[in-house]
Amino acid sequence: MTVTRFAPSPTGYLHIGGLRTALYSYLWARRNKGEFRLRIEDTDTARNNEDALGAIMEAFEWVGLDYDGTVEYQSKRNDIYKKYIDQLLSEGKAYLCYMSKEELETLRETQMANKQTPRYDGTWRPEEGKVLPPIPEGIEPVVRIKAPKDGIITFIDGVRSIMNFSSNEVDDFVIARSNGVPTYNFVVAIDDALMGMTDVIRGDDHLSNTPKQIVIYEAFGWKPPKFYHIPMINNPSGKKLSKRDGAMDVMQYKRDGFLPEALLNFLVRLGWSNKDQEIFSMEEMLELFDPTHINKSASAFNEEKLLWLNSHYIKNVSNERLAKELEFFDCHIGGHDKKEIILDLTKERAQTLVELKNAIAAILDAPSEYEAKGVKKFIKDETIIKILDNYVKLLEENADNLNISIDYEGVTKPFIEEFELKFPQLFQPIRLALTGSTQAPSVYDIMGVLGVEVVCERIKIACEKNFNKE
């Protein structure tokens, strides 16, 4: 059975790189009818953040990535780690090291001065015929693993194929600090083994950790999982993604008006593809995703693509869903008798739910000011005010028969012909009067939504104010 995991550290908010890793792991497990587990790597208590942990859980709920079993917290597994550290010590596969921080720093400086790679020199490593230094007073030892001194550490990476690391690149690294707290590479290997991980999908910034974790697996005689190291997400210039480029808290995307389907669709394509297909439902992702097809090169964040995808999903989800989503932005139109018409009018141009909310407000809320550029272009003299006054009288005379957009069209076309107007000469001033802008949807549709009483009132107010012309 395929078992994958997502294992964030609660030291910062979940960003999109982490969410992409979680998505890939989720898809691979679900496609193979396996398990997707969530593990919180919180052994670094000094850096843990309760708000960050809450944000991780909130993000998972928002995008709909469900996990199997209970959430595992490394901070609650210290007894397990101690057991395996003691096992390695008793088997002679790990040892106590009493080298002080000052000694380590001196060693490091000397090696760098000699243009050598900084590494532990094995001073406290027990070996046959070797006499260890006397145990110093006042030094609490760390625990180091006995790493192989020669040979090749080999593993298969599902993205990069066979990876070979010379054993001399891995020194006797620390597996438990002087206070007894185990280190990252040790607990990750222990947890992945005990939780039965078959496939580990993670960022390629972890690639250098893998040889160390292989050493731990081999020390216990365990079979390592299959590794897939995903290239990073860069900004459009090919540099590391920053908050300004989009590497922000996942929940900020919700606050900015993105639908979770759009964000997941966007992320699945940042490093993986299925020919030229751009739109993927969750069902299609589950059917098609294969981590062996992940690109070997880094992907570039493209905000325009994300906005395009989001606009696609806004157009294609149900109006009932949109109305529900808009409640998050304090836009409540679920009970409006013309909800369907309003959403059909506004969602075609909206790239985000924030834009959708603003477009709806532009129709339903009376304008407090009028677009200066539009007023200058279309409200040139008193003639248009008189035309609008006559138009209001026409609407009031036919009020009983004006209900939907086609009714307004029926009385407006003859009016345009009678006054020998071009359509923009009437419609743009009406748009300005009704919404304050010249960029609103069809005038007939807006009037159908507002109703004749509101339409007449807004046109009268605009004319009385002379569209706020100075």
pLDDT, averaged across the chain: 93
**Is 243 marked active-site?**
yes
For residue range 171-182, list pLDDT tens digits in order.
Answer: 999 999 999 999
Cα dihedral 341→281→5→60 (10° resolution): 0
381 has a pLDDT exceeding 80? yes
Both tokens of residue 245?
């480029």
**pLDDT digits over 122-176, tens only?**
999 999 989 999 999 989 999 999 999 889 999 999 999 999 999 888 999 999 9
CA distance 341 to 335: 13
Report the C-alpha gap between 372 and 360 in whole angstroms.
Answer: 21
Q: Please give the model's pTM, rounded to 2 decimal places.
A: 0.91
Marked catalytic residue, from 130, 243, 315, 377: 243
Q: Is 93 annotated as a binding residue?
A: no
> Residue 42 CB: number of other CB atoms within 10 A?
19
Residue 26 burial by CB count (10 A; 0-12/13-18/19+): exposed, middle or buried? Answer: buried
Q: Give the chain's domains with CATH numbers.
A: 77-230 (3.40.50.620), 366-468 (1.10.10.350)
Instruction: List, for residues 17-28, the tens digit of each pLDDT value.
Output: 999 999 999 999
Is pLDDT at 13 greater than 90 in this prediction? Answer: no
Q: SS3 for 202?
A: strand
- The answer to whether residue 53 scores a pLDDT higher than 90 is no
**Total count of residues recorded for the chain:** 470
159, two tokens: 């993205």
Who contacts 47 (Cβ-Cβ below 8 Å, separation ≥6)?
A: 9, 11
User: Per-residue pLDDT for 70 more than 80?
Assistant: yes
pLDDT confidence band for 52 (50 / 70 / 90)? confident
Write down the residue that tokens 């809320």 correspond to: 365
Of 231-245, 249-263, 279-293, 296-310, the range with the lowest mean pLDDT is 231-245
Confirm if 353 and 314 have CB atoms less than 8 A apart. Answer: yes
219 with 145: CB under 8 angstroms? yes
Q: What is the mean pLDDT of residues 390-414?
A: 95
